[in-house]
């Protein structure tokens, strides 16, 4: 369930919960459905691939007696959800953590995150056309990717309680990250795709040699519920473009957030992933 009644956190955390619940359903042979309607319907961007997760007409119980709700937002094990087994009613789950390793151990499975993701999802024509446009533009020979996650340190947008740095510190942080990117791009024989939650950073690097950026406004999906569909599309484009890179690097200083966005994009197609700490 991603319907706005409970905070789902960012796109990566939403995917973690969706894949985990699918893995459990698959392990126990139970039907799986995904209701993703907030802040935009998932089917605008991703539709069923090998498994149809769309609820069918009149399939979902409309009475509280026919449903159990489980909230797994801070639980670090899947124990709370396992208490509903064996299934006697429909179970609606709010989850935003990755329980795949735990499920594999408990049920003696070897599910891979990327395989499950690709069983569930394929891009809509709108998303696939946008991806192909960028793939054509960047280089047919392939590319690597660098990801920078600033949260609100550079004052780009609201995200929970995070506050911007003072102006002088912002410039120092910006310069450190630009220099780190230059070092990678100068050593790379293929173009470097750069994604970031900071439009300030993207604007600062978009014209550098060997750098490719994806235009568009970035918002945190849990904090902005009234943006245009094009704004939310940007996050899906970034995620799936990263998944098609040859290698993904997540760069940042000690004060920057170690985002899982590139880590899980890498899992989609088993792309090598590496974190680089900027001193």
**Which pLDDT score is estimated for 217?**
67
Q: Are residues 83 and 157 in the same domain?
A: no
Instruction: Indicate the number of domains in the chain.
Output: 2
Q: Which helix (H) or strand (E) holds 19?
A: helix 11-28
The pLDDT-based confidence of 46 (bands split at 50, 70, 90) is: very high
- Of 122, 144, 170, the domain-final residue: 122
Q: Are residues 223 and 174 in the same domain?
A: yes
**Which pLDDT score is estimated for 222?**
46
In a domain, 1, yes or no: no
What domain range includes position 95? 11-122
Q: Would you say 71 and 6 are in contact if contact means Cβ atoms under 8 Å apart? A: yes
Q: Are residues 115 and 160 in the same domain?
A: no
Dump pLDDT digits (tens) for 120-165.
Answer: 999 999 999 999 999 999 976 799 999 999 988 988 866 556 678 8
Q: Residues 86-91: what's their mean pLDDT? A: 91
In a domain, 45, yes or no: yes
Q: Residues 164-177: what's their mean pLDDT? A: 92
Predicted TM-score of the model (pTM): 0.92
Q: Residues 201-227: what's their mean pLDDT? A: 76
In a domain, 2, yes or no: no
Q: Mapping DSSP to helix (H, G, I), strand (E, B) and coil, where does residue 104 land? A: helix
**Which pLDDT score is estimated for 160?**
54
Strand 46-48 to 121-123 pairing: antiparallel
- Of 88, 122, 156, the domain-final residue: 122
Q: Residues 8-33: what's their mean pLDDT? A: 94
Neighbouring C-beta atoms of residue 163, cutoff 10 Å: 10
In a domain, 110, yes or no: yes
In a domain, 152, yes or no: yes
């Amino acid at each position: 369930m991603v319907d706005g009644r409970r905070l789902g956190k960012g796109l990566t955390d939403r995917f973690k919960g969706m894949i985990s619940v699918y893995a459990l359903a698959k392990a126990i042979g139970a039907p799986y459905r995904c209701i993703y309607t907030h802040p935009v319907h998932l089917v605008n961007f991703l539709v069923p691939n090998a498994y149809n997760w769309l609820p069918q007409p009149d399939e979902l119980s409309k009475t509280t007696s026919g449903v159990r709700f489980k909230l797994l937002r801070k639980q670090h094990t899947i124990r709370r959800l396992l208490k509903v087994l064996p299934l006697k009613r429909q179970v609606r789950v709010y989850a935003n953590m990755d329980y795949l390793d735990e499920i594999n151990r408990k049920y003696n499975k070897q599910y891979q995150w990327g395989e499950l993701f690709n069983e569930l999802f394929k891009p809509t024509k709108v998303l696939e056309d946008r991806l192909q446009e960028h793939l054509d533009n960047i280089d047919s020979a392939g590319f690597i990717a660098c990801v920078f996650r600033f949260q609100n340190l550079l004052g780009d947008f609201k995200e929970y309680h995070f506050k911007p740095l003072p102006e002088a510190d912002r410039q120092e942080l910006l310069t450190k990250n630009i220099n780190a990117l230059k070092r990678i791009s100068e050593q790379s024989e293929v173009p470097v795709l750069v994604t970031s939650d900071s439009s300030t950073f993207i604007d600062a690097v978009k014209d550098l040699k060997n750098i490719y950026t994806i235009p568009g406004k970035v918002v945190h999906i849990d904090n902005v519920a009234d943006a245009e569909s094009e704004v939310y599309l940007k996050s899906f484009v970034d995620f799936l473009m990263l998944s098609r890179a040859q290698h993904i690097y997540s760069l940042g200083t000690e004060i920057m957030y170690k985002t899982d966005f590139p880590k899980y994009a890498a899992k989609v197609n088993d792309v090598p992933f590496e974190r680089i700490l900027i001193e």
